[in-house]
Amino acid sequence: MNTFTHICKSAIRKLFATSLLLFALDGCNPKNTDPVDVYEYFPLEIGRFAVYDVKEEVYSTGQANPVIKTWQEKDKVENVSEDDSGVFTYTFSRSTRSSATEYWTKAKEYKVHRYPDKILTNIDNQTFFSMVFPVDTRISWNGNTYNNRDAENYHYEDVNMPGSVGSQTFDRTLRVVERNDSSVINRYIGIKQYGLGVGLISDNQTSFEYCQDDACIGSGKIDSGVRKARTIIEHGVE
């Protein structure tokens, strides 16, 4: 084999190996690189609705098992108004029913205020700083800025990642971690997941106090508290 032929074959092998590496690296990256309108993680328009399965577990001191309740909730945008500064306020209705075979009963109304840089949710006379824009995993904000509760530093995780809730899959999701504190005596978790073009797809809230007696401290035995989960089962525009 002459020197020229050897050099050519070596170059071809290197080119082939490089192509395989680039192909493999490309497979590690998300295929959908289209620009994302982050406001669509909290889409707001009259008639938009979402239906959720809700499960609540209530633990009480001295009770061996929690009291478990299940029901459904439907949130729907009923109307919208705009103030002089250009802030839009959307009024939601929340209806409930004990099962899918029952009729909906309106339980309450709440409001969502959309600013250019944030979303505020006012429910049960408490205003929560739900989202901040632009969306960035490197920033955090106090979700209780606009109420009198203790400060809670919210932050984003898993932005623009695929996600699933039950049997439903979503191409792009993000999570707002409101709280994630654990110790040998308690556990506090608040995590909301949003789907692009859908809105809230799951909401998990946990507030547990663990047994602190000498015989059981550190065992993870729940002494009291509540765990509540909302998971989307239907959404659209009416």
Q: Is residue 29 part of a domain?
A: no
Pair 173, 164: CB distance under 8 Å: no
Give the lowest-confidence range in 11-25, 28-42, 134-148, 219-233. 11-25
Q: Is the dihedral of CA 114, 115, 117, 119 positive or negative?
A: negative
Domain count within the chain:
1
Q: What HEC string does 176-205 produce?
A: EEEEEEECCCEEEEEEEEEECCCEEEEEEE
Which of 103, 109, 119 has the alpha carbon at shortest distance from 76?
A: 109
Whole-angstrom CA distances from 82 to 88, 113, 119, 121, 126 are 4, 10, 14, 16, 21
Q: How confident is the model at residue 218 (pLDDT cuts 50, 70, 90)?
A: confident
- What percent of the chain is modeled with pLDDT above 70? 86
Whole-angstrom CA distances from 233 to 8, 48, 117, 161, 180 are 60, 14, 29, 20, 25
Q: Is residue 153 part of a domain?
A: yes
Q: Is residue 13 part of a domain?
A: no
CA distance 23 to 15: 12
Domain extent, residue 61, equals: 40-237
pLDDT by residue (tens digit) across 148-207? 999 999 999 999 999 999 999 999 999 999 999 999 999 999 999 999 999 999 999 999
Q: Is residue 204 part of a domain?
A: yes
Q: Is residue 6 part of a domain?
A: no
Three-class SS state of 83: coil
Q: Is residue 52 part of a domain?
A: yes
pLDDT by residue (tens digit) across 158-175? 999 999 999 999 999 999
Whole-angstrom CA distances from 117 to 74, 134, 208 are 27, 7, 34
Pair 192, 203: CB distance under 8 Å: yes
Q: Is residue 9 part of a domain?
A: no
Q: Is residue 33 part of a domain?
A: no
